[in-house]
Amino acid sequence: MRLFSASELARILADHITRLAPELLPHGKKDGAEWRVGSLAGEPGQSLAVRLTGARRGLWCDFSSGERGDALDLVAACLFSHARKDAMAWASTWLGLANNASHAPVLRPPVQEKLNSPELDREAQQRRAKARRLWQDAAPGIAGTPVETYLSGRGIDLRLLGRAPGALRFHPAVWCAEAQRPLPAMLAAIVGPTGKMAAVHRTWLAQAPSGAWGKAELANAKKVLGSFAGGCVRLWRGASGAALGMAPDGDVTILAEGIETALSCAIACPEYRVLASVSLSNMAAVKLPDTITEIIVAADNDAGNPAARKALKAALHQFAQQGRTVRLAVPEIEHGDWNDVLRNEPDTGRNRP
C-alpha cells in the first residue's frame, strides 16, 4: 500500500474541501467562495474562513486567533489538537486511500503559495487598526446607556459591583454587514498578551417595543474585529484591585468564555478576578502571569458538543501544565451557562461557580 506524504494528502483534501469543511465545521455557512465559522471550536460566526474554490482552495485562516494552514492542518486542528500524524491517518481513511491504493486520485502539481501571505498579514493589520478606531470612537462608561439596560435584562446588575468594567463601552452606530446598516452595539476591549488592546468584541443590540434592550435579531449578533490569540477581556480585578500584569501572588482568577457569563461570575464571586476568553478555541491560549496560581474555569454545560469538550479539555490541560491549580465549574442547567444560573436562581446562594 502506498503511503501518501502530508503535502499530497493536503492537496487531495483540498480537492474535496466543499465536502470536508462542512463535515469538520458543521455550524458554519457558505459565504461566496468561503466556508465561514466562528473558530476552530465550531461555534457560529465569521472569523474563520476556509477557501472552497480556485487555486487557494483548502487554505484557511482564523482572523481572530491568527491561526492558518492547509486542508490537512484543518483536520489536525479540528479533530486531533493539531497532531498532523493522527490527521494524516484519518485523512487517508476518509479519502479511501488507506486500504485501496489502486483508486488513488491523480495528484495535481503543488500550488506555489505561501500560507503566511502578505495579503493575509495586511488584512489582519487593517482589522486591528479598525478595531482600535472603533473603540476610540465610543465614549468611556456604560452608565445610563443601552448596554447597562441590556445587561440588567440578563440579570447582571453592575451596581452590585460598585462600578462598571472599563473594558465595556456603548457605541450608537456600529456597521453590521449582515444588516447592511449601522446598529447600536456593546463593545468589549480584548487585550493581548502584551497588555495592549488587540481587538474589539461587538454585540449588536436592538430595542423592543417595551423599551427593553436585547441582542439584535441577527444570525450572528456577536463578532470580533481584530486578532486576539492569547488575549482576553479583562472584566473584573477582584479583591486585589490590581491590573492583570500586577496580580499579587496567590491571585485566584475565574476564566469564562462569554462576556455575559463572565460578568455573572463577577456578580457571584466579586472577590475573584474575572476574565472572558471570548471563544473556547482561545481559552487554552490565554496568557496569565505566574502570580495567578489558581484558575476556576467557568464552563458552559455543553455536554453534547464534542468540539466544545475538546477545547475545554485542552484549556484545563494547558493551565495544569503551567503548574496552576485548576478547577472546573459547570452549571447543573443542561445546555446552560452561569448567566442562566444567575437569572434562574438569583437569591439561593447556589449561583457561585
Domains recognised in the chain with CATH numbers: 6-116 (3.90.580.10), 123-344 (no CATH)
Burial 149-188 (b: 16+ CB within 10 A, else e): bbbeebbbebeebeebbebbbbbeebebeeeeeebbbbbb
In the structure, what pLDDT confidence band is assigned to residue 108 with cuts at 50, 70 and 90? very low
Rounded distance between C-alpha atoms, residue 252 and residue 247, angstroms: 9
Distance CA 211, CA 45 (A): 28
pLDDT of 270 above 70? yes
Is 323 a residue whose pLDDT tops 50? yes
Report the share of the chain in percent with pLDDT over 90.
Answer: 50
Which parts of 247-332 fold into alpha helices (H)? 259-268, 280-283, 306-321
Q: So what's the pLDDT on residue 282?
A: 85
Sign of the CA dihedral 37, 42, 47, 53? Answer: negative
331 Cβ contact list (under 8 Å, min separation 6) = 300, 301, 337, 338, 340, 341
Least confident of 94-103, 106-115, 328-337: 106-115
Residue 253 near residue 224, CB atoms below 8 Å: no
At residue 109, the pLDDT reads 41
Tell me the C-alpha to C-alpha distance, in Å, between residue 20 and each of 51, 58, 100, 129, 236.
11, 9, 20, 33, 41
What distance in Å separates the CA atoms of residue 201 and residue 131, rounded to the nearest whole number? 9
* Nearest-angstrom CA–CA distance, 124 and 158: 34
Label the pairing between strands 168-176 and 139-140.
antiparallel
C-alpha cell at 324: 496552576
Please state, in angstroms and rounded to a whole number, the distance separating the CA atoms of residues 25 and 38.
9
pLDDT on residue 96:
80
pLDDT reported for residue 115: 44
CA distance linking residue 154 with residue 263, whole number of Å: 10
Specify the DSSP element, H or E, that contains 29: strand 29-31
pLDDT in the model for residue 346: 56
Sign of CA dihedral 287, 290, 291, 297: positive
Q: Identify residue 85 by its one-letter amino acid code.
A: K
- Cβ distance 31 to 22 under 8 Å? no
Q: Rounded mean pLDDT of the chain?
A: 86
Backbone angles phi, psi at 147, to 5 degrees: -65, -45
Closest CA to 326 of 351, 303, 353, 300: 353
239-248, Cβ contacts within 8 angstroms, sequence gap of 24 or more: 239/270, 239/271, 239/272, 240/273, 244/191, 244/195, 244/273, 244/275, 244/288, 244/289, 245/195, 245/289, 247/273, 247/289, 247/291, 247/292, 248/291
Name beta bridge partners: 325: 294
User: DSSP letters along 66-117, please?
Assistant: --EE-HHHHHHHHHSTT-HHHHHHHHHHHTT-SS-GGGPPPPPPPP---SS-
The answer on pLDDT for 47 being more than 50 is: yes
Cα separation, 74 vs 67, in Å, equals 10
Place of cell 450608537: 172
pLDDT number for residue 347: 54
Predicted confidence at residue 303, as pLDDT, reads: 55
Indicate the burial class of 253 (C-beta count within 10 angstroms; 0-12, 13-18, 19 or more): buried
CB 38 within 8 A of CB 305: no
Per the CB < 8 A criterion, the answer to whether 341 and 155 are in contact is: no
The model's pTM: 0.71
DSSP, collapsed to helix, strand or coil, labels residue 323 as coil
